[in-house]
Structure 1
Amino acid sequence: MSLIALSTECLATAPGRIAHGTDHEETDAALLARVRARLQAAGDVPGATVRQMLSLADALASFDLGRFLLRHRSLNANWTHRLVTYQPGSLAAGSVEGLEYQMFEKLPAVLATRERFGTFRGQLQALMKPGATAASVPCGLMGDLLLLDYSGLPGVCLIGVEPDRDALDKARALAETRGLADRLSLQNKDAWALNLRASVDVLASHGPSLSEPDDARVTELYCAYRDALRPGGTLVTGFLTPPPALSAASPWNMEAIDLKALSLQTLLFAKIIDAKPQAFRTHTQTRELLQHAGFTNIRFIDDRARMFPTVVARRSSSNRPSTLSGR
């Protein structure tokens, strides 16, 4: 899963989540030395000196989330889950490294992603009916579905599709904690390889399109989602909007964004972490892709900053066969 793009220059994160293994031989000290050498070689940047960037790199290396981002340049399913389920105010200012506090409490991209997660859960809860089948693709730890309230909803079946085996193991553990293991089915595969064949009433998708710049590939993905849904079924997904620095059509609501935190975010992810690139689309572009894939009744739910909108769309009641997904 991916956190939203975290910079206005190099723009990145994970909700095109990457499966992160543990086969790295480089020590934390060696990694930090390499990052520091890169920053020193690059020199000062607008708004920050090398000395300031080295200080931030050292701060990142002092806590778990920072070290993970320095090493992988994006988030995995576990860290995404921790960020979106974090309760604001849980970390008292001064109780942890200052930068860690700011990353959990202040960064605009983190706030937008957390707000989007809440919007997803609200939409999904309203869509749940007794006997329904719901899928999360890619599911990560599957908090979008597993954290819902299923009291009074007998017979609901939950499907998680995810290429990262570690994430699937954690999703299974969360399901057991929530008393939902008997409702859960997990599949270890890529989102583009879905083969659910009109068996799903509600499908939630958090990640793949966020890191895919090719519109044809995204349309293919939406076709796979459409084919997984029963006629009349509902897709709940999201997309990243372009920042003002990249597009005059940016819908960002700058009045809702802490500019100091945004500057820190840009510096951290574009310059120090060197985060992996993400794909940005406007509301209009997203609507066109969904319509091309056969979705109707498309509606958008913006987060306050309009960085990471939620989109809800319905599969047409007709059984029109896929023309773009190759099936």
Structure 2
Amino acid sequence: MRLLVMRWLSVSGLISLLLASQAWAHINIEQITGNTMGTTYTIQLRLPGSLVTKQQVKALVELELERVNRALSVYRADSEISEFNLNDTGKPIPVSERLWDVLQISRNVSAKTYGALDVTLGPVIEFWGFGAKPRELQHKDRGQLELARSKTGMDGFTLDSQAVTKVIRGLEINPSAVAKGYGVDRVAKVLDGAGVVNYLVEVGGEVRTRGVGVRGRDWKVAVTRPQKFSLEIQELIKLKDMSMATSGSYVNYIQSDDRQLSHIIDPTTGMPTVGSLVSATVLHRRCAIADGFATAMMILSVERSIQLANELGLAAMLIEQTDMGLKTYFSDAIYPFLVKQDEF
């Protein structure tokens, strides 16, 4: 899912380095890697004795990731979401557990973020060239953008009895804002079912942990400095039975004159975000929810996002680009998760 994969290149690169060093530090930590959703995945885990082998775990994980892709990938013509987007019957369309879960999560996060998260922006995302089709903006105009916007809106579909009904004709759902986080959650479910109680799952930078890592300590994951290709650590976060997602505007963008137009689209305007916020990190027990909130906070102002995080008790970190350099903001709930500089 390329729309939100690019935002993770610098983050996932450093995470991989950190995880590799952890794996080497303790003989009982195993590592499983692979490709999925247009990016990579890494799993660090302690295997539960002889109950399951590393090869069996990888096979189960890859089967589940294929199921997630088959349900949610807008880049596969045979996926469930692609077939749903082509369906304009106006009648209830039965959907899989995976698509239903993602739509429910998206609707809940959208309601709590004043509509900032909108997974119905498929036509607008394609207009700007951040979707499955090649980018071509030379022959597009405001009228075409408004036509695309007319086919969007979180009230454009209803959910009832494991079925989805399109209210707006031409509605197209692009679940990329939560898909990788949801993939992480599904892999974690597989590991739980296999009896694994200590693991870290990472898909394209989205992370979920359970138990402890090397030497029985909490897992530590880096948020890199929000600059393209940077591997410098901005903050180190300790996670135990928690997930973390980071959304950023500094990797995947369009250069327009002297402005960078982000791949993150503002639902209220249909335009790429151009604000000063360059990175939003959110912690939550479910990675898909953290992913959704991180994307939404890239739309909202810094002040509104921190206020929202404090009201909901969310652990969040925002990084803003100012004339004086980068400025970091923390919600009240994130402080217990921050690793001090002398603990790096």
Q: Do they superpose with TM above 0.5?
A: no
Q: Kindly indicate which of the two structures has a greater share of residues assigned to strand.
A: 2
The two structures have a TM-score, normalised by structure 2, of 0.28
The two structures have a TM-score, normalised by structure 1, of 0.29
Structure number with greater CO (CA < 8 Å, separation at least 6) is 1
